[in-house]
Amino acid sequence: MDLWLSPHDARVRSLRNPREREGLLLGWHESPFGRCAGVSDGTHLLALRFETDGSVLEELGAEWPGITLTDSTKASSMVAAVFDHPLQVPILATGTPFQLTVWEYLRRSSNASTMTYGEVARSIGRPTAARAVGQAVGANHLAVAIPCHRVISKGKLTGYRWGLDRKKALLAWELSRRDPLQLPF
**Full 3-state SS string of the chain:** CCEEECCCCHHHHHHHCCCCCCEEEEEEEEECCEEEEEEECCCCEEEEEECCCCCHHHHHHHHCCCCEEEECHHHHHHHHHHHHCHHHCCEEEECCHHHHHHHHHHHHCCCCCCEEHHHHHHHCCCCCCHHHHHHHHHCCCECCCCCHHHEEECCECCCCCCCHHHHHHHHHHHHHHCCHHHCCC
Determine contact, residues 116/134, Cβ cutoff 8 Å: no
Using the predicted structure, report yes or no on whether residue 1 has a pLDDT greater than 70: no
The predicted model gives 155-180 an average pLDDT of 85
Mean predicted lDDT score pLDDT of the chain = 89
- Provide the residue ranges of all domains of the chain, joining segments of one domain with +: 3-88, 96-169
pTM across the whole model: 0.89
Q: Select which of 148, 151, 170, 171 is catalytic.
A: 148
The predicted model gives 90-116 an average pLDDT of 91
CA–CA distance, 103 with 72 (Å, rounded to integer): 26
Q: What is the pLDDT of residues 118-134, one digit of tens each?
A: 999 999 999 999 999 99
Quote the pLDDT of residue 178: 72
Using the predicted structure, report yes or no on whether residue 183 has a pLDDT greater than 70: no
Identify the weakest region by mean pLDDT among 22-36, 54-68, 139-153. Answer: 54-68
The CATH architecture to which 96-169 belongs is Orthogonal Bundle (1.10)
Q: Is 148 an annotated catalytic residue?
A: yes
Quote the pLDDT of residue 38: 96
Quote the pLDDT of residue 181: 67
Which residue type does 184 have?
P
Using the predicted structure, report yes or no on whether residue 54 has a pLDDT greater than 80: no
CA–CA distance, 167 with 150 (Å, rounded to integer): 8
Identify the weakest region by mean pLDDT among 7-11, 48-52, 99-103. Answer: 7-11
Q: Domain spanning 3-88 has what CATH number?
A: 3.30.160
Determine contact, residues 91/3, Cβ cutoff 8 Å: yes
